[in-house]
C-alpha cells in the first residue's frame, strides 16, 4: 500500500525548513546505511543527533500526529526520529530495502520499520531527476511531490532515488512501527475507515455505521500488536 499525504506542511513552511537545512553541515549519507545499502547510496545527510534535525523532526512528528490520513494509514506505534538528506550533482541512491529494525541513537528503544516515509521539502521544478521509485504490488511507481507533501509505503518495498541532475532535492525520511505489522491488514483497515468516514459525511444517520465501526475496531483488536 502506497499512500500520498498532501500538504503536511504548506509550501511556505517547507521553504522555511529547507532554508534552515541549507545552512546546516551535511555529512556523507552512508553513515546510516547498512552494508549493502552503503554500496549504492550517494548523497549527503544531516547528522542524526544534530540539533536542527531534532528540532525539525519534532515538528514533523507533531504535525503528523494530527494528520488524519497519516494516522489512519500508518496506525503508528513508534516513529523513528526524522532524518534529512540532500541530493545534487548526480547523487542518487540505488535499489535497496531498508533495515528491518533500527536503533534510535542516544535512546534505548528500537523501531521495526513496517513503513517508510519521505517528506519532500524541495519543489519538483527546482530539480531534475530525484524521483523516489518504489516497486510495489501494482508495479513500479515514481513519486515526486510538491514541497510539504509526503508519501508512505511499506518498508519491505524495493526502492531507489534517481540521480539528481539539476538543482537540489532536500527531504526528510524516516520509518514507522505500526500497531498492525502486515501491510495487507493495514490496507483493509484503511479502506474500511475511509468508507466509514464517507458514510458519516454523506448519510450520518445510516443504520450500518455502528456495525461497520464495530467491525473496524474488532479487526484492529485482532491484528494490533502491543
**pLDDT tens per residue across span 140-184:** 999 999 999 999 999 999 999 999 999 999 999 999 999 999 999
CB atoms within 10 A of CB 93: 24
Answer yes or no: is pLDDT of 33 > 70. Answer: no
**Does the annotation flag 96 for ligand binding?**
yes
Phi, psi of 113 (to 5 degrees): -90, 70
Higher pLDDT, 111 or 42: 111
**Does the annotation flag 169 for ligand binding?**
yes
pTM: 0.93
- Each domain of the chain, given as residue ranges in start order, spans 3-178, 183-223
**Does the annotation flag 141 for ligand binding?**
no
What pLDDT is attached to residue 36? 65
Which DSSP helix (H) or strand (E) runs through 114?
A: none
Answer yes or no: is pLDDT of 23 > 90. Answer: no
What pLDDT is attached to residue 224? 97
Cα gap 210→37, rounded to integer Å: 47
Where residue 35 falls among pLDDT bands split at 50, 70, 90? low
What is the architecture of the domain spanning 3-178? Answer: Sandwich (2.60)
User: CA distances (Å), 97 to each of 66, 131, 134, 160, 195, in order?
Assistant: 29, 16, 10, 9, 32
Average pLDDT score over residue span 76-100: 95
**Does the annotation flag 28 for ligand binding?**
no
What pLDDT is attached to residue 226? 86
Cα gap 192→185, rounded to integer Å: 11
Higher pLDDT, 139 or 212: 212
Average pLDDT score over residue span 33-42: 72
Amino acid at each position: 500500500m502506497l499512500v500520498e499525504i498532501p500538504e503536511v506542511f504548506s509550501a511556505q513552511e517547507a521553504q522555511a525548513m529547507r532554508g534552515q537545512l541549507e545552512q546546516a553541515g551535511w555529512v556523507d549519507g552512508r553513515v546510516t546505511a547498512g552494508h549493502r545499502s552503503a554500496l549504492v547510496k550517494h548523497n549527503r545527510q544531516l547528522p542524526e543527533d544534530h540539533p536542527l534535525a531534532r528540532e525539525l523532526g519534532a515538528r514533523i512528528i507533531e504535525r503528523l500526529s494530527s494528520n488524519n490520513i497519516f494516522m489512519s494509514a500508518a496506525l503508528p506505534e513508534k516513529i523513528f526520529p526524522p532524518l534529512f538528506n540532500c541530493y545534487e550533482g548526480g547523487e542518487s541512491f540505488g535499489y535497496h530495502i531498508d533495515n528491518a529494525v533500527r536503533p534510535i541513537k542516544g535512546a534505548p528503544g528500537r523501531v521495526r520499520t513496517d513503513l517508510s516515509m519521505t517528506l519532500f521539502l524541495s519543489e519538483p521544478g527546482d530539480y531534475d531527476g530525484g524521483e523516489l521509485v518504489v516497486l510495489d504490488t501494482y508495479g513500479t511507481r515514481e513519486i515526486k511531490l510538491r514541497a510539504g507533501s509526503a508519501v508512505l509505503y511499506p518498508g519491505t518495498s524495493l526502492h531507489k532515488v534517481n540521480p539528481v541532475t539539476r538543482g537540489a532535492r532536500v527531504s526528510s525520511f524516516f520509518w514507522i512501527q505500526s500497531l498492525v505489522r502486515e501491510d495487507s491488514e493495514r490496507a483493509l483497515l484503511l479502506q474500511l475507515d475511509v468508507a466509514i468516514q464517507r458514510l458519516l459525511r454523506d448519510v450520518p444517520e445510516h443504520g450500518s455505521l455502528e456495525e461497520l465501526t464495530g467491525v473496524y475496531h474488532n479487526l484492529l483488536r485482532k491484528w494490533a500488536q502491543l
